[in-house]
Amino acid sequence: QKEVEQDPGPLSVPEGAIVSLNCTYSNSAFQYFMWYRQYSRKGPELLMYTYSSGNKEDGRFTAQVDKSSKYISLFIRDSQPSDSATYLCAPQTGANNLFFGTGTRLTVIP
Amino acid sequence: EPEVTQTPSHQVTQMGQEVILRCVPISNHLYFYWYRQILGQKVEFLVSFYNNEISEKSEIFDDQFSVERPDGSNFTLKIRSTKLEDSAMYFCASSEALDRVSYEQYFGPGTRLTVT
């Protein structure tokens, strides 16, 4: 079983839509749940992260973790064309190395 | 805003040759990492480095790979004898060290390695 599974998409939404991006994981030792954004041929850019279960909000972005079901979500409100990128979930045990999902490619259509 | 830089942006080499990829981490960071991303695949952890020694490494990081912090600013990844399957984007990352654990890793723009 893969450590982290993520639907690769692609996902296309109209501008202003609410976007839901999701990952599942198998390793119960994961404690920190990071979300990165990656533009084509660029390095991953840290968006936000949560610790353990719960929600965290940062502007239009909300990260959510449900450890009981091993489910990670990122919601984007009022999506903009500039949000078009690949979104990577990357949980971490606390021992420093990140376990990346395959990424979901998002396109926001003006 | 401080950022991680990497050189070169693109490296082409012949199979069997040695390559050195260079990174300058963010100046007050103490944890350094290398990841790679084969085209169309996920980002994979290679190695982490703290206090002048390897902290963790993955199965990918075999004897052909080595890392070094030759001075106070650079962090390098050496591949001794490159193989075709080493062709990938290599990302350097760095993070602060808080009680020897750090969660916010900041990535450089990557070096595209092409082995022919």
Please check the confidence at residue A1 and state whether its pLDDT lies above 70.
Answer: no
Residue B47's identity, in one-letter code, is V
What are B45-55's pLDDT values in tens digits? Answer: 999 998 899 98
What are B58-95's pLDDT values in tens digits? Answer: 999 999 999 999 887 899 999 999 999 999 999 999 99
Chain B residue nearest residue A48, CA to CA: B104
Window from A1-5, B60-64, B95-99 with minimum mean pLDDT: B95-99
| Cβ within 8 Å of A, B 59-88 | none
Contact criterion met (CB < 8 Å) for A98 and B4: no
A34 touching B (Cβ < 8 Å):
yes
A77 touching B (Cβ < 8 Å):
no
Which residue in the block uniquely carries the two structure tokens 């990081």?
Answer: B61
3-state secondary structure labels for all residues of chain B: CCCCEEECCEEEECCCCCEEEEEECCCCCCEEEEEEECCCCCEEEEEEEECCEEEEECCCCCCCEEEECCCCCCEEEEECCCCHHHCEEEEEEEECCECCECCCCEECCCEEEEEC
